[in-house]
Chains A and B, each alone.
Chain A
Amino acid sequence: MASRQDHDYRPLLVSGPSLAARLFMLVIVSGILMIADHRAGYLDALRSTLMAGLYPLQRSVDAPFSAARWLSEGLATHSMLRRENGRLAEENRELRLRQMRLDALERENARLREASQTTARVIDRYLVAELVRVEMDRLRHRVLVNRGSTDGVYVGQPALDAQGVFGQVTRVGPVSAEVIMISDPAHALPVAINRTGMRTIAYGRGTLERIELPFLPGNADIEPGDLVVTSGLGGVFPPGYPVGEVEELLKEPGEQGLRVTVRPLARLSSDPEVLLAWYDNQLVEPVAPMSPNDGAEVP
């Protein structure tokens, strides 16, 4: 007897809406979803719930890679560990010396701020978050981390690594959160040139190797090697944290402005974990934004 699978699956009597009608309906629903999600952001709660449901799948996909990392770390030889330990001890001595100098500077800074009636804004707490999934597809530079609203993570929270600014939290689920990296084309970060104090905005370019300062005047005092730090405008990032180093100054023919490329200091491509930071931005003194676009944008 021929089973049903031997035949083409096509009913003799067509029931229900036609292919075109179903397609039309689903296209309309998709369009409504896209508008509600992208333009209005109405679906954040729904997305968080669904993200929580998908977290086990994401975790299990990453599990073999985490296990491989764990195993390779476990298999590090004794001599390697001794060497590493020696290097870290040396680094620690150096850092402690630098810390002492910084403590002195911080005290001096506090005295000066007291004198000028302004307040300091520094990170007062941070949480180490492990990267569960890195999403570089289609130039959306996002990572999923294993901390969520149950750890107090909030949308807009700054994320850093040991070298510099990494990005900010865009979506939060109960046990996971999505972080947009500073290299994402949709990310804008208010920054300042450390040497001159000049403020501008750094945009992601969709590549991990560089971000861009597109709005600088042609005669701006800026040179390769200048350190770019957060300006603190917009209230998302505390001021003074390193973002990158000026790499190249490009003058487009026929254009007044200067396009500056910056090499991010954060190890965007290789960090296995990031620091989610809390800082008291209530202490931020009101500063007039430099342009209507000022402030870290998230899509």
Chain B
Amino acid sequence: MARGTAWRTARMMLLGVTSTAACVVPLPNWLDPARPAFLSITLLWLVFAGPKPAGLLAAWLAGLLLDLLQGGMLGQNALAMVVTVAIALKFRLQVKTFEKPNQTLVVAGLLFIYEFLMFCTDSLAGLRGRGGWQWLYPVTSALLWPWLDELHKRVLGRH
């Protein structure tokens, strides 16, 4: 039993590290705005379909990690991530029962909220506009949801 838990924790950590690495792996400049938010999707998957939902503190720490890796304001991604995961936790039981296409829409909506919070904090900090491309990744991330859902289930098992 303990061995099973350790094995699951190891796989969970592997998932976390891979998702983080996928957030910073070099991409051509033209492709970068479409880079799926792998870490956010992994946390949302843990909330909606994982063996144990991601907690708020884990979401906050993951956001802080992104802040450090992306070189932005410390706390910006952390704030957006914690709010997004909190909303997901609030509606977790309803979303769990949804079909995959509906879950995809929910994930897209949550990632738009995430990006909206980033946009608000950027504006409050007086950072200049980022063009319209930053609204692209919630769509690409949501499109990946069905496949990532399947992949995560294979890595961590079905629940």
A206-B21 CB under 8 A given contacts A31-B79, A51-B68, A137-B70: no
- The residue that B79 contacts in the complex, of A27, A135, A138, with Cβ under 8 A, is A27
Report how many residues on chain B are interfacial, defined by Cβ distance under 8 Å: 47
Given contacts A19-B89, A26-B60, A33-B78, contact A139 B68 (CB under 8 A): no
Contact with A19, one of B52, B56, B72, B118 (Cβ below 8 angstroms): B56
Residues of B within 8 A of A5 (CB): 51-52, 159
Taking a contact as CB atoms closer than 8 A, the residue among B25, B65, B75, B131 that contacts A61 in the complex is B25
**Which positions 1-40 of chain A face chain B at CB distance < 8 Å?**
5-6, 8-9, 19, 22-23, 26-27, 29-34, 36-38
Task: Kindly state whether residue A208 has any CB partner on chain B within 8 Å.
Answer: yes
Q: Scan A168-179; emit 1 where CB is below 8 A from any B CB, else 0.
A: 000100000010
Beta-carbon contact of A57 and B21 below 8 Å: yes
Contact B131 A139 (CB under 8 A): yes
In the assembled complex, how far is the CB of residue A205 from the closest CB belonging to chain B, in whole angstroms? Answer: 9
> Is the C-beta of A126 less than 8 angstroms from some C-beta in chain B?
no
Cα distance A206–B33 in the bound complex, in angstroms:
13
Let me know if A23 and B74 touch, CB within 8 A: no
Closest to B21 in A: A61
Residues of A in contact (CB 8 Å), total 48
Give the Cβ gap from B48 to chain A, nearest Cβ, in Å: 12
Which residues of B are found within 8 Å of A142, using beta-carbon distances? 71
In the complex, whether A269 has a CB less than 8 A from a CB of chain B is: yes
Q: A54 contacts B71, CB within 8 Å?
A: no
Q: Measured between C-beta atoms, what is the minimum distance from B156 to chain A in Å?
A: 10
What 0/1 readout, one digit per residue, does chain B (89-126) give for beta carbons within 8 Å of chain A?
A: 11001000000000000000000000000100110010
Neighbouring A residues of B21 by C-beta, 8 Å: 57, 60-61
> Is A19 a contact partner of B78 (Cβ separation < 8 A)?
no
Minimum CB–CB distance for B28 against chain A, Å: 9
Query: Smallest distance from the beta carbon of A18 to chain B beta carbons, Å?
Result: 11
**Measured CA separation A33–B81 after assembly (Å):** 14
A206–B128 CB distance below 8 A = yes
| New contact pairs (8) apart from A30-B60, A144-B71, CB-CB < 8 Å | A23-B56, A26-B60, A30-B82, A36-B74, A135-B71, A136-B32, A142-B71, A208-B29
Task: For the complex of A and B, list the 8 residue pairs with the smallest distance between their C-beta atoms, beginning with the closest.
Answer: A33-B75, A30-B79, A30-B75, A37-B74, A34-B75, A185-B128, A139-B130, A23-B86
